[in-house]
Amino acid sequence: MRIAVSVKQIPDPANPGRLDPDTNALVRDEKLILDESDSYGVEMALQMAEATGGEVVVVSMAPNEEFGGLRTALAMGADRAILVSDEALAGSDALGTAKVLAAAMRRAEPDLILTATESTDGYTGTVPAQVAELLDLPSVTFAKSVSLGDGEVTVQRQTETGYDEVVCPLPAVLSVTAGVVEPRYPSFKGIMAAKNKPADRLGIADLGIEAGEVGWAGARQEIVEVAPVPAREAGEVVTDDGSGHERIVAFLEELKIL
Amino acid sequence: MGVGTVWVHVEPTPGGVASISLELLAAARRFGERVEAVCAGGDRDALSAAVGEHGASVLRYLELPDEALVGPPLAASLAAAVAGSDDPPAAILAATTYDGRDVAGRLSARLDVPVITNVTELAVSDGALVGIEPIFGGTTNVHTRFSAGGGPQVFLIRPKSFQATPTGGPPAQPAELPAVDCGASGAARVVGRHAEESTGPKLDEAAVVVSGGRGLGEAGKYEMIEQVAGLLKGAAGASRAIVDAGWVPYSQQVGQTGKVVKPDVYIACGISGATQHLVGMKNSRNIVAVNKDPEAPIFGVADLGIVGDVHKVLPRLIEALQSRS
Ligand SMILES: Cc1cc2nc3c(=O)[nH]c(=O)nc-3n(C[C@H](O)[C@H](O)[C@H](O)COP(=O)(O)OP(=O)(O)OC[C@H]3O[C@@H](n4cnc5c(N)ncnc54)[C@H](O)[C@@H]3O)c2cc1C
Ligand SMILES: Nc1ncnc2c1ncn2[C@@H]1O[C@H](COP(=O)(O)O)[C@@H](O)[C@H]1O
């Protein structure tokens, strides 16, 4: 069984970047890392591959041939990587990204595609459904538990009030929530092995995608304004000297909650 | 100012419609000359009464087999309806919910139109809708609009961004959304539905929300949060850290990937105040925080901050509240 995991490489969230005042593009001047949200999908794929003797392919679209996040996934144990990097992709929105990922997935011919429910820096949460639709595949988003059956998966899908149990034939796209499995740390051996694992580096021409479909042009939207939000005024902060709870009670009384 | 017809994806609940859908109808009414609801499954009469009362003139309804997921069939059917309509919608609004994202994502791929996501406010500029989206933990707003031309403008709206307000309108006129074969993409089947037991008010509707985080130290201590919530007739929430740790179910998570809450009072206990948590609660009318770290970012949004140990403050608070009731 071949499992493809889409992994986004993002700036370290501890340093979220800034908007370029001239172009309103997100400026990322440091090395990119594996989005933690995608580490759950990587772990789940590894567990499934270990159980079935399958293969894990990690797929990413990123600027400037960035490979750091893919290398982390390879070090965790993924077998090979596909990286799509192309100047024409700058400014791509979720649909443009989904078109590229779908084309890359088509090349990988996976039995199962895993994504996160949303990326840490983009959080549109639409890429998984867009990829599924472009590939004409069923999808189960917000999977909080997945068990692999014969040619199908059984998924607990998060709902407002609990979960739905969903049976989905393969191939399919699943978006998995954080906490669904415990991602492993790359071992030293894994880190060394990652250096020699195969990586396909592609541009959009290799995928048969035209420049106009992706990037700024393909996004067909424009940022008309970027405005700071007035900060919420911080209130009073007191140190508990054994009477902190009384302050809370008094505050609730003032608000007529009590 | 009007932007033409707006379709709103409304989500059924047993016997009615989700509150987020009524929020979206209120948003649509502000800009649409004509507001129509689109829906897959649910109690048709109850839906048409509820959406009519909130200003929708038409309910376009897709019959949905019990075991079907909403996304693929509704997106296919909407795409066909847009293509075949004499008065195609200028905009389509869906909510940042589990099904809303599926519908918007699949529809966008089918129609080859982009989606503006995470919208918390809408405006009109040059006759086009502008989606306003908070970034960097809500410290900056980005205003985005679609370039002219192309299909409908699709927006995903975050819950609690608009206030639902009834217009007292009559039940919406029924209209069929014809089913379209969505092939392999519709092959997933729902074989069981599980609702978690919950007592007291719902998290996203409660006037008081008391949330706990990793600062509680261990799963068993979450009981203190439930006790305070119970005594204040509120709901208990959680940070993602303790949801991921399995202490409490996901349905209680507050934040970017959880629920958005806007209660009269939000009480955060042992929660650091990460940006992804703040976006789910910082528009609460009043915020109280208990954290032992005076530098915790949660204090930056709190009206009342108590620098202290939850294991001391909460038991005393519980006692004080009990002695009053
Ligand atoms: C894509 C993405 C989406 C996310 N979505 C969400 C979301 O929806 N909701 C969410 O909450 N998070 C979300 N997160 C996670 C978020 O970034 C934080 O990791 C999380 O909110 C931290 O939870 P916490 O505050 O409970 O834990 P911590 O950050 O570990 O904070 C614990 C706090 O408890 C305090 N403390 C410790 N002991 C005590 C004590 N005895 N008494 C009082 N205080 C004490 C500490 O000072 C600390 O401030 C998301 C992250 C990503 C990447
Ligand atoms: N550039 C990318 N490369 C690989 N995967 C991506 C990329 N962008 C988004 N994804 C996947 O789609 C998920 C949802 O992303 P988003 O729609 O941006 O919230 C992410 O968590 C990833 O799994």
Q: What is the DSSP string of B175-201?
A: EE------GGGG--EEEEEEE----SS
Residue B2 has pLDDT above 80, yes or no: no
Average pLDDT over residues A155-164: 92
pLDDT range class, residue A193, cuts 50, 70, 90: very high
Which element (helix H / strand E) includes B65?
none
Q: Which member of A129, A169, A240 has the closest CB to residue B101?
A: A129
> Exposed, middle or buried by CB within 10 Å (0-12, 13-18, 19+), for A5?
buried
Out of B272, B281, B284, B293, mutate this one to test ligand 1's pocket (max ligand atoms within 8 Å of CB): namely B272
Q: Which residues contact A189 (CB under 8 A, 6 or more apart)?
A: none
| Tokens representing residue B91 in the block | 């905009």
Ligand 2 centroid, distance to B11 Cα (angstroms):
26
- How far, in Å, from the CA of A95 to the mean position of ligand 2? 11
Which pLDDT score, from 0 to 100, does residue A232 have?
78
| Contact B271 CB / ligand 1 (< 6 Å) | yes
How high does pLDDT run on average in chain B? 94
Pair A195, A188: CB distance under 8 Å: no
**Residue B1 in this model has a pLDDT that exceeds 70:** no
**Residue A124: nearest ligand to its CA?**
2
Of B120, B238, B73, the closest CA to residue A229 belongs to B120
Q: Are A58 and A47 in contact (CB under 8 A)?
A: no
In this prediction, residue A14 carries a pLDDT of: 76
What mean pLDDT comes out for the span B121-142?
Answer: 88
Q: Using a CB–CB cutoff of 8 Å, tell me whether B308 touches chain A.
A: yes
For residue B26, pLDDT over 60 is answered with: yes
Render pLDDT for A2-42 as a digit per residue (tens, 0 to 9): 999 999 999 887 776 677 778 777 776 678 999 999 999 99
The continuous run of DSSP H or E covering B162 comes out as none
pLDDT at position A116 over 90: yes
* Distance between B284 CA and the closest CA of chain A, angstroms: 11
- Please indicate whether residue B213, judged by its CB atom, sits closer than 6 Å to ligand 1: yes
pLDDT tens profile B267-321: 999 999 999 999 899 989 999 999 999 999 999 999 999 999 999 999 999 999 9
Nearest CA to ligand 1 atom 30: B214
Average pLDDT, chain A: 94
Helix pair angle (B71-84, B98-111), 10° resolution: 40
Q: What is the position in ligand 1's atom list of the atom closest to the CA of B257? A: 8
As for ligand 2, residues whose beta carbon falls within 6 Å of it are A 6-8, 37-38, 60-61, 94, 97, 101, 115-116, 118-119, 122-128
Q: In this predicted structure, what is the pLDDT of residue A28?
A: 62
What percentage of residues in chain A have a pLDDT greater than 90? Answer: 82
> How does pLDDT run across A89-103, given as a tens digit for each residue?
999 999 999 999 999
Tens of pLDDT, residue by residue over B234-243, are 999 999 999 9
B145 touches chain A (CB under 8 A): yes
Positive or negative, the CA dihedral A88, A90, A92, A98 is positive
Chain B partners of A163 at a C-beta cutoff of 8 Å? 194
A160 and B98: CB-CB below 8 Å? yes
Question: Which ligand is nearest to the Cα of residue B243, counting in written order?
Answer: 1
Residue B149 has pLDDT above 80, yes or no: no
Residues 236-255 of B with CB under 8 A from A: 240, 243-246, 249-251
* Residues in chain B within 8 Å Cβ distance of A127: 105
Give yes or no for a contact between A168 and B71, defined as CB atoms under 8 angstroms apart: no
- The percentage of chain A sitting over the pLDDT mark of 70, rounded to a whole number, equals 98
Closest residue in B to A243 (Cα–Cα):
B313
Q: Quote the crossing angle between the two packed helices B98-111 and A94-108, to the nearest 10°.
A: 80
Question: What's the pLDDT score for residue A25?
Answer: 73
- Closest approach of A97 to chain B, Cα-based (Å): 11
Q: Nearest bound ligand to CA B241?
A: 1
Using the Cβ of B113 and the Cβ atoms of chain A, whether some distance falls under 8 Å is answered with yes
Atom of ligand 1 nearest to the CA of B241: 23
Answer yes or no: do A227 and B136 touch at CB < 8 A.
no
- What pLDDT, on the 0 to 100 scale, is given for residue B3? 86
* Binary contact (B117, A125; C-beta < 8 A): yes
Residues across chain A: 258
Note whether B140 contacts A134, CB cutoff 8 Å: no
The strand pairing partners of A204, in sequence order, are none
pTM: 0.91
* Inter-chain residue contact A244 with B308, CB threshold 8 Å: yes
Interface test with A, best of B306, B313, B317, B325 (most A CBs within 10 A): B306
**What is the H or E stretch that residue B218 is in?**
none
In whole angstroms, what is the distance from residue A151 CA to residue B97 CA?
A: 29
